[in-house]
Structure 1
């Protein structure tokens, strides 16, 4: 039904008309306007009600005949009225000016006497005013009812949310203009830090200081604030987000300028605030020589290529022009997903050669997916020999602390012996560079995962000492948590907030270092190029963050209130579950204090205790037998002797699934096995 008392029925009827019918109505209106403008020009000139003379009627017939073809040629009937912008006025001025000039020429050639010269400029002004004002009136008249058209078509509609745009620059103005045509948001004001803009108006929206934000929320029931700061640095965005936290309002942001410029998204595409912006940490420009040193023109293999870090390494490596990139992964689906993504990237870069995201000679880069496990020594060696691998980035590992604590045997096979087999394959195949992705949990570990990663570091350090038999350069890169990785707390918090809570935090005091996955991968590549052999590099992770503070900020930025004793009517409760098996309150990046700077401000070199290969080899033999026998007491004994500061947090009874517990008594083991680790 379109019969509405407020007249919107007529507007809906017009919107639903076929395009050709709308064009016919516009042309008919312009025919009338052409004659009306000419009549008004004569009337204004003579200052009285004007009645055309017999020979002047020819001019009234000629006016629309001249105007309509010109308007058609200049596209006045191709524009969608409800989406017209101010710049369309220039087209209207051009069309009416051209019409006025042609009309003046026709009048001059017609020989009609007695037409005052002032009629011509008055005719031009009148037609420009009538044509222009009619279109902008129609834009206003049709605009609002179009947004409710879904109701006329039987579609359930919802009211638009009142939003404030933070940033009154070009991006903010474009965003406000784009949102005004949408169905979801209604911009009601701008906020900007520039005092010179305060109390000014842009497109009818007033610009306020941040101090007026609470007033805007209460006056207009604002539900969201949209950050229109695509070129702002992360530290600046973090500062702004912190200033908005007390308001418990949903914060969204525009995409970055690079994404807009490359056509990946449009200016009106809004997204949740990037958690990386909460860190306030701006990436340091990479050293291009370090990025290319181990990759450009070489055969590169990434183990664990389908994981969080491994996949990002692959994305960055493919842009650095390797000869061949080998994706080594034990998960079939993960391997399929990363290969598909990289092939799409290569194909896109071939098509968009010369674009900002293009890869030179992308068609020549070989991409080889390989299913396999690093625990399979023969498979690792065969791959390295067959493809003549020159650089390996070893990202394959089990990293989820509680899961590894429950399945220590598999973690030892993968994290320790997987690293050993990969390193030995690299040595036998004359691989030039081997880079291990390590973790801050390897420092004074309280869990099995951290102990296995530190043991993996010890293996590479020991192998580096055997320079006579080894030409491979081993490097280890140690860093903390990465945002958005599998097992990361950030996606868990998002999921919990989306379903209404509660948000679970293990301990109110727990703190962690965080870094974005792209920055971590980029620094890993650069650190790998710095290594001389046996180096342990530590990435500068910035300041640690309390997990409970991160949870509160994410709740506030979702437009919700934390429910606690001070706010019993809040929306989302934070519950504390207690530390999980093997979990620490805080993580460290250095075992000792012996650390030195490198040429990169975010990369440090650590000098730490090394166990000679002969001694470590004995431990590996014991560790292998103990793992086969599920002798976790013996495994802990090996870790306690090899890994500095290893203090397991949970009992062995807590490490195992009850139905699979198969502990071996010490009395069943030979004294020799224990004497080797005493």
Structure 2
């Protein structure tokens, strides 16, 4: 991918994936013209500015703003070529308690990003989704599913604008802020790790894998795809064993809005789901390009009717030993 003289903006750019994307872009594409970190938390921007200083990286800019503020987004998107939309409220239990706030950010904010992109000269946008958007049972998942629909449908209202909207959907990002592995590592000093349900499973992807997938969508999307990685699952009890085998595992019960197993593709999605090799993609029911041309270009193969992809029935699994190695390699605890 050639990003020479391109301008990129990341909403929610101070989050775990935003920082990983920033490091990747600045390292891999040093001739990028501008990289804008857009977020609402000035303290996180200040801290990130210590790590990615504009003196060392003259391409970087820090832009305070909220995706709820469309006017601010339009201002921020001026002169931007590519947008990566990572801003969201993502904690399930907080969204359940503050539903209106979650809707304002995850749904209203998504629509604002779409509108701001259409009103400026943005060429491509990739929006981050979650496995919780697939057959959602909690508000967070429902808002992210709505967000996915907004970004996919935006390709239908762009008129003659050549912009391309796409989505990437994946599971738990290993070591990201608020995720289970950093939580367990901080809790192990107490001698007890809380387990919601011993049968619980989750998909697992590294920050590097998430970054790679975003960059793939940014380069290869034709518009309207939801990209899904082929990644392993883990059992929550194996994560606890890998981190602190000496700790007691205390069963505390499943929390509101949680699933035992997460899904990324339902059987209802199978009619529009294609195997691309490294990824699956759910194609939009209506699109502005030729399906046969898409299939030929990517070697895309339609999955079997009724195919589904969930963490409990996955064919690839992390073990206690592989989790130990991944944690050593990918997880940094402050």
State TM-score, norm by structure 1: 0.40
Deviations 1:54-100 (A, max 9, x none): xxxxxxxxxxxxxxxxxxxxxxxxxxxxxxxxxxxxxxxxxxxxxxx
How far, CA to CA, are the matches of 1:501 and 1:411 in structure 2?
Answer: 34
- Equivalent in 549, 552, 565 of residue 241 of structure 2: 552
The change in CA–CA distance for 1:523 and 1:580 in structure 2 (over 3 A counts) is: same
Corresponding position of 1:328: 38
Structure 2 equivalent of residue 166 of structure 1: none
In the alignment, structure 1 residue 504 sits paired with structure 2 residue 194? yes
1:489 aligns with 2:164: no
Taking a change above 3 Å as real, the CA distance of residues 527 and 380 of structure 1, as seen in their structure-2 partners, is: same
Aligned with residue 372 of structure 1, among 53, 58, 65: 65
CA contact (8 A) 2:174 2:207 kept: yes
SS in 1 for 2:227: strand
Name the residue aligned to 1:604. 280
Deviation, 1:425, is: 0.6
**Secondary structure of 1:313 counterpart:** helix
Report the alpha carbon displacement of residue 467 of structure 1 after superposing the two structures with TM.
Answer: 3.9
2:92 pairs with 1:416: no
Quick one: structure 1 residues 416 and 469, their matched pair in 2 at CA, closer, same or farther if it must change by over 3 Å? farther
What secondary structure does 1:475 align onto? Answer: strand
Answer yes or no: is the 8 Å Cα contact 1:464–1:470 preserved in 2: no
Q: Which runs of 4+ in 1 moved over 3 A?
A: 608-611
Name the SS for the 1:454 alignment partner.
Answer: helix
Give the whole-Å Cα distance in 2 for the aligned partners of 1:398 and 1:324.
26
Secondary structure at the aligned position of 1:310 is classed as helix
1:457-468 matched pairs, under 5 angstroms: 457-468=148-159
Distance (whole Å) between structure 2 residues aligned to residue 522 and residue 511 of structure 1:
24
Kindly state the Cα deviation for residue 334 of structure 1 after the two structures are TM-superposed: 1.1
Partner of 2:273: 595
Aligned ranges 1:479-628 → 2 under 5 Å: 479-497=170-188, 499-542=189-232, 544-556=233-245, 560=246, 572-591=247-266, 592-593=269-270, 594-598=272-276, 601-607=277-283
Q: 1:296 to 1:577 in 2, by over 3 A?
A: farther
TM superposition shift of 1:610: 6.9
Name whichever structure is richer in strand by fraction. Answer: 2
For this pair of structures, how many residues does the alignment match?
282
Equivalent residues in 2 for 1:439-478, closer than 5 Å = 439-468=130-159, 470-478=161-169
| Residue pair 1:420, 1:456 contacting (<8 A) in 2 also | yes
Give the Cα–Cα distance (whole angstroms) in 2 for the partners of residues 585 and 577 of structure 1.
14
Computed over aligned residues only, the root mean square deviation of the Cα atoms, in angstroms, reads: 1.8
The answer as to whether partners of 1:477 and 1:527 remain within 8 angstroms in 2 is: yes
What is the deviation of 1:586?
0.8
Secondary structure in 1 aligned to 2:249? strand
CA distance in 2, matches of 1:339, 1:490: 26
2:80 aligns with one of 381, 389, 396: 389
- The answer to whether the 8 Å contact 1:596/1:605 transfers is yes
- Residues 404 and 448 of structure 1 are in contact (CA less than 8 Å); yes or no, is this contact kept in structure 2? yes
Matches of 1:510 and 1:502, distance apart in 2? 18
- C-alpha spacing 1:587/1:609, structure 2 compared with 1 (3 Å): farther
Q: Using a 3 Å threshold, how does the CA distance of structure 1 residues 418 and 550 change in structure 2: closer, same or farther?
A: same
SS in 2 for 1:514: strand
Matched position secondary structure for 2:190: coil
* Greater fraction of residues in helix: 1
The alignment partner of 1:316 has SS state of: helix
Alignment of 1:273-422 (within 5 A): 292-293=1-2, 295-319=3-27, 320-321=29-30, 322-343=32-53, 347=56, 365-385=58-78, 388-422=79-113
1:471 Cα deviation after fit: 2.7
Please list the CA deviations of residues 522-576 of structure 1 after superposition, one character each: whole Å capped at 9, or x if unmatched: 221112211111111111222x1110121122223xxx3xxxxxxxxxxx21111
Q: 2:319 matched to which residue of 1?
A: none
TM-score normalised over the length of structure 2: 0.80
Contact 2:118/2:158 (CA < 8 Å) preserved in 1? no
Q: CA deviation at 1:518?
A: 1.8
- In 1: Cα distance, 2:161 partner to 2:101 partner: 28
Q: 1:496 to 1:610 in 2, by over 3 A?
A: farther
Larger Rg: 1
| Aligned counterparts, 1:189-204, within 5 A | none
Distance in 1 of aligned mates of 2:50 and 2:86 = 20
